[in-house]
Amino acid sequence: MLRLPPFQYIAPRTIDEAAQLLADYGDQAMPVAGGTDLYPNMKRRQFTPEILVGLRGLRELRGIGGDPAQGMTIGALATLTEVANHPAIRQFYPALAQAAGLVSAPQLRNVGTLGGNLCVDTRCNYYNQTEFWRHSIGYCMKKDGDICLVAPGSPRCWAVSSSDCAPALITLQAQARLVGPRGERLIPVAALYHDDGIAYLAKQRDEILAEVQLPPAGSWRSIYRKLRRRGSFDFPILGVAAALRQDADGTVRDARIALGAVASHPVEAAEAAQMLEGQRPTPELLEAVAAAAARWAKPLDNTDLTINYRKQMAPVYLRRVLEELLYEQ
């Protein structure tokens, strides 16, 4: 049985207190929300914080408010089940409801939070293993080692961003409100990430993700679909989020496409999406857009299934998702 390492759990009452604790304890402390990502990682000794700053008691991080006409606010502690089942999110921001509803299994969605999902650790076959397993192969630079075992000549880590909700929120042009000891700031969700498997978050260590803000829904339609081995349970090997709005004659006015699980950060395929704008979609155009977006999917041998399968499936899957958004929703 894998056991948690010893740690002290502190339950602050306000977000300011939580941020100050993170600042005071520095590298020794981490925030925890649902714990569905962090606790398993601690059991495998990928993280061994001495202090856990528990966010679950912070009422100001709870709740889903606003309305689709003015924009909506989702507290970072909203569970994935709450997000997936919320009637207005399901109707007006379907990509997000679908993404939240496709994370893992019901038990995890009942506990796992939206904030935790956006901050979820990057993944790699050489890293998501027990301490014993990692010790036996000499570790890698993401934890305890000094080389990348997937790309040994590489100076960086290529662990994969596996959040389902991040690409969906990027296509919906959501913003993240971060609160730290030096104040708060609002940034696009896309700006939360670095292209680096180790330092994958652009937020400061002592900043807490307080909420996600969705813009007015307008006439945008959206979709999120994920490719994975077991449909009931697994992380994505490819996540596809797309959003668009069309004029009355079917011409696409604006389009956005974002991909998950293809790099160390969620990737916005902006040039591919722009190919749709000003056009009435045809099968040939969708094929070309899917092929352009799939160029971002350059898989390494560090996640599930084979590189060849993932590479070949990317344009096929992208085309299917775009067709579903345009013709079946």
Ligand X SMILES: Cc1cc2nc3c(=O)[nH]c(=O)nc-3n(C[C@H](O)[C@H](O)[C@H](O)COP(=O)(O)OP(=O)(O)OC[C@H]3O[C@@H](n4cnc5c(N)ncnc54)[C@H](O)[C@@H]3O)c2cc1C
- Only one of the segments 85-93, 151-159, 164-172, 221-229 lies at the binding site for ligand SF4 (rule: CB under 6 A); that segment is 151-159
Task: State the nearest-atom distance from the C-beta of 288 to ligand X, in Å.
Answer: 30
| 159 lies in the binding site for ligand SF4 (CB under 6 A) | yes
Task: State the nearest-atom distance from the C-beta of 302 to ligand SF4, in Å.
Answer: 5
| 160 lies in the binding site for ligand X (CB under 6 A) | no
| 148 lies in the binding site for ligand SF4 (CB under 6 A) | yes
Q: Which is nearer to ligand SF4, 127 or 296 (CB)?
A: 127
| 126 lies in the binding site for ligand SF4 (CB under 6 A) | yes
Task: State the nearest-atom distance from the C-beta of 15 to ligand X, in Å.
Answer: 9
Interacting positions 194-253 with ligand SF4 (CB under 6 A) = 197
Q: Which is nearer to ligand SF4, 138 or 250 (CB)?
A: 138
Interacting positions 293-312 with ligand SF4 (CB under 6 A) = 302
Q: Which is nearer to ligand SF4, 113 or 302 (CB)?
A: 302
Who contacts 299 (Cβ-Cβ below 8 Å, separation ≥6)? 237, 262, 307, 310, 311
Interacting positions 95-134 with ligand X (CB under 6 A) = 103-104, 108, 112-113, 115-117, 119-120
Interacting positions 89-118 with ligand SF4 (CB under 6 A) = none
Q: In this structure, are strands 51-54 and 29-32 parallel, antiparallel, or unpaired?
A: parallel
Q: How many residues bind ligand SF4 (CB under 6 A)?
A: 14
Residue 162 touches which of ligand SF4, ligand X, none (CB < 5 to 8 A by kind)?
ligand X
- For ligand SF4, the binding residue among 38, 52, 80, 140 (CB under 6 A) is 140
Cα 32 from Cα 27, distance rounded (Å): 14
Q: How many residues bind ligand X (CB under 6 A)?
A: 29
Task: State the nearest-atom distance from the C-beta of 72 to ligand X, in Å.
Answer: 17
| 157 lies in the binding site for ligand SF4 (CB under 6 A) | yes
- Exposed (0-12), middle (13-18) or buried (19+): which is 112, by Cβ within 10 Å? buried
Contact 34, 61 (CB under 8 A): no
Residue 32 touches which of ligand X, ligand SF4, none (CB < 5 to 8 A by kind)?
ligand X
Cα 269 from Cα 289, distance rounded (Å): 10
- Only one of the segments 27-35, 136-144, 167-175, 243-251 lies at the binding site for ligand X (rule: CB under 6 A); that segment is 27-35
- Only one of the segments 119-127, 181-189, 218-226, 248-256 lies at the binding site for ligand SF4 (rule: CB under 6 A); that segment is 119-127
Task: State the nearest-atom distance from the C-beta of 164 to ligand SF4, in Å.
Answer: 20
- Only one of the segments 86-94, 103-111, 144-152, 273-281 lies at the binding site for ligand SF4 (rule: CB under 6 A); that segment is 144-152
Residue 100 vs residues 94, 116, 194, 252: alpha-carbon distances, Å? 10, 12, 22, 26
Cα 306 from Cα 310, distance rounded (Å): 6
- Sites of contact with ligand SF4 (CB under 6 A): 124, 126-127, 140-142, 148-150, 157-159, 197, 302
